[in-house]
Amino acid sequence: MKRVLVAMSGGVDSSVAAALALAQGYEVVGATMKLWGGPSDSGCCSVADVEDARRVCQQLGVAHHVFNFTAEFEREVVARYVSAHEQAATPNPCISCNAHLKFDRFFERARQLGFDMIATGHHARVTCTDGVFRLRRGHDPAKDQSYVLYMLGQQQLSSLELPVGEMTKAQVRAVAADLRLRTAAKADSQDVCFISRQGGRQAFLGERIPVRPGRLVGKDGSDFGEVPELELLTVGQRRGLGTAVTGPERRYVVGVDLATRTATLGSLEDLLVAEIPVADVSWSAAPVPAGTAVMVQASAHGRPLAARWQPSRPHAGRVVLEERARRIAPGQAVVLYEGDIVLGGGTVPLPA
Amino acid sequence: MGAYLDHAATTPLGAAAREAITPWLGELFGNPSGSHPVAARARSALDDVRDVLAQALGTVAGDLVFTSGGTEAANLAVLGRLSHTPGAVVVSAVEHHAVLEAAHVAQRLHGADVRVVGVNAQGQVDLDQLGAALDRSVSLVSVQLVNNEVGTVQPLDRVARLVRRRAPQAVLHTDAVQAVPWFDIAAMAEGADMISISAHKFGGPQGVGALAFRRPVALGATLVGGPQERGRRAGTQNVAGALGMAAAMEATAAERSREAARVRELRDGLVSEILGRLRGVRETAAGAERAPGHCHLLVDGVESEALLVLLGGMGVSASAGSACASGAMEPSHVLTAMGYSETEALGALRLTLGHTTTAEEVEYAAGAVVRAVEQLRRGARMPVAAAPGP
């Protein structure tokens, strides 16, 4: 019998993933990662979430363990998040967490403990054709999480079960309710888990890096006043730019320069680009040849755009868009799809 | 086959305790505070066992407060004393959290100056540092008898002499929770003013403990309400639990020297078996006098969190020493105080033997530890699995 270690957050998706893996005949063990040691909206150390995962495991009659990965989380996710802001990038910490914690640290721990596979509650699917594993979009378009899993390679995909990927969220909740799992009606987690709603990003970063004012300037050098926290601005942002930014024309942040402590504002037209640079590219299977037609997604629930892939160096290149689209902030992930298959992805680099 | 080697966490209920408790979970009952014959019956039973325990702990005139366990006893010693007599609090760095957290609360609530005294590499309290921390402003000193993680015995008589000389007005509390199965507390804690114990560490039931007074100590209550326990601990006493605790104490005392020798031999065998078969394993506090049941190891290149999972899978109950509210392992404050790095501390393995431990269990556990450590060090790669469904 195959042994599967299920990563359980204490939410409904991973609860159902564990139940389904068990129903498929796997030998199942649940494990919850303790990731964030600081204050959060779900309480200190998210003890309540760990307890939910443990109670679900007890109900399913499977063992449950807690792994303390707070040191790695601090180093690989929080520190990267903070230092990215120091460079005026807009990082996606969920992607770092998947890359370094869930599908690296947790994966290694599962191996060490002799498990054959791991399973998670992500809404995505893994298929295999002719020995090649493919990551595909989840069945529920509103919940699809393939974007945040783009870094998974063959080794990880070959040992990964995503039991809820074929289901809609409503079906997941229905299964949980049928099984009377205590997490059936639990609200979905939202936002960045280590940033509390009360203080927000501003308070979190303000405690860790100097967050200082900057000037807003037009493309022609005209002055639009000051923003109190230049490090928190994101390319493409329109709101929260202060009272000096008025008039009938909508103005967007088109660039942030921490060296000169300015953010450049422009029109929507100024924001549009014909291509997006991508660095730190990883491929799900083989690298995609130059000129391949792909669909590109640049945010968790962004609209896919038609483009062609143009590599420049190993693990870097650009996507050339069929139609111009809004600029993507440095630090954001760009994921390449062919239909519902994830080909790979990377990160928008800081401007040279 | 399995092995239960977590007796320092809790040890199975002994036969004597079960026998003493059972009637009070059945036909016998009564609130010791009442004035009728049913109450008197309970009161009489409680007073009898109070004397038994007081004597075992070397206290005069049966001065002993029943509590819900070791934590409450330690809380009462620290916070009860500080709420009555403000001043500085001196604690060793390797005290149980029940003492350390209580000291922090005393700081917050009573403005106590908390002085934490370091330990040497064996976990023994540094007497020079202790001497320097003692002066006439000290209200309470708390030094454990036996460390719960590594098993080191503290030089309590020397601690007591220092306290008498440098801080004669201070009260000395000792957390004897881990010491009862192995040592004669009346003799060993002679210099202490207050002693905390917990029944389930020596074959009694969970949920009952005591704070014993060797000398009169003026104390504020930490639980308030009725006048039970001479106003020092409100709430109806756990009569069945107290009876079980006293029976366990008597049984422990009767068997103690034999059991200590038997378990010490098993422990030494366990240690030499593991050290003989595995490289990169160190015994912690090996140079100190230790509780006979404690085996504490640091395993290089292995995370105890993973080791415990594998051992559990083989039926071996062990511990790493410290866990947080979620159940995740935390680097131990005891090992940190002893000078070990966080990385070293994350490879801690605590195996604690007790009254039910057999030679077969120890042999099995040694083999399991060797197998588990070897597996983790190999870092077995997950094989590439067959294709999942479409």
Residue A260 touches chain B, beta carbons under 8 Å: no
> Measured in Å, how far apart are chain B's first and last C-alpha atoms?
41
Q: What is the structure's pLDDT at B331?
A: 81
**Inter-chain CB proximity A44 and B325 less than 8 Å:** yes
pLDDT surpassing 50 at residue B382? no
Q: What is the structure's pLDDT at B27?
A: 95
The residue with greater pLDDT, B61 or B189, is: B189
Q: A245 CA to chain B: closest CA distance, Å?
A: 48
Distances B378 to A4, A132, B242, B257, B301 between C-alpha atoms, Å: 20, 28, 50, 42, 10
Residue B328 touches chain A, beta carbons under 8 Å: yes
Global pTM value: 0.90
Binning pLDDT at 50, 70 and 90, where does residue B244 land? very high
Residue among A20, A58, A68 with most chain B CBs within 10 A, to mutate: A68
> Measured in Å, how far apart are chain A's first and last C-alpha atoms?
52
Active-site positions of B? Answer: 324
**Inter-chain CB proximity B310 and A113 less than 8 Å:** yes
Residue A109 touches chain B, beta carbons under 8 Å: yes
What DSSP state is assigned to residue B383?
P
**B309 vs A contacts (CB less than 8 Å):** 65, 113
pLDDT surpassing 90 at residue A44? no
pLDDT (tens digit per residue) in A293-323: 999 999 988 999 999 999 999 899 999 999 9
Q: B200 CA to chain A: closest CA distance, Å?
A: 25
Share above pLDDT 70 across residues of chain B, in percent, rounded to a whole number: 95
The residue with greater pLDDT, A351 or B348, is: B348
Share above pLDDT 70 across residues of chain A, in percent, rounded to a whole number: 97
Q: What is the mean pLDDT of residues B288-305?
A: 96
Q: A35 CA to chain B: closest CA distance, Å?
A: 10
For B163, counting Cβ atoms within 10 Å of its Cβ (0-12 exposed, 13-18 middle, 19+ buried), the class is buried
**Inter-chain CB proximity A67 and B381 less than 8 Å:** no
pLDDT (tens digit per residue) in A169-222: 999 999 999 999 999 999 887 778 888 878 888 889 989 998 899 999 998 888
Q: Which entry of A57, A94, A97, A128 is annotated as an active-site residue?
A: A97
Residue A340 touches chain B, beta carbons under 8 Å: no
pLDDT (tens digit per residue) in A244-266: 666 777 889 999 999 999 999 99
Concatenate the DSSP letters of all residues of A233-301 into one string. --TT--SS--TTS-SSS--EEEEEETTTTEEEEE-HHHHEEEEEEEEEEEESSSPPPTT-EEEEE-STT
- Respond yes or no on whether ipTM tops 0.90: no
pLDDT (tens digit per residue) in A69-83: 999 999 999 999 999
pLDDT surpassing 70 at residue A40? no
Q: What is the structure's pLDDT at A48?
A: 86
Residue B388 touches chain A, beta carbons under 8 Å: yes
Nearest-by-Cβ selection for B326 from A34, A108, A128: A34
pLDDT surpassing 50 at residue B128? yes
pLDDT (tens digit per residue) in B44-89: 999 999 999 999 999 977 899 999 999 999 999 999 999 999 999 9
**Inter-chain CB proximity B375 and A114 less than 8 Å:** yes
For the question of residue A45 being annotated catalytic, the response is no
Q: Which entry of A45, A57, A94, A193 is annotated as an active-site residue?
A: A193
pLDDT (tens digit per residue) in B140-171: 999 999 999 999 999 999 999 999 999 999 99
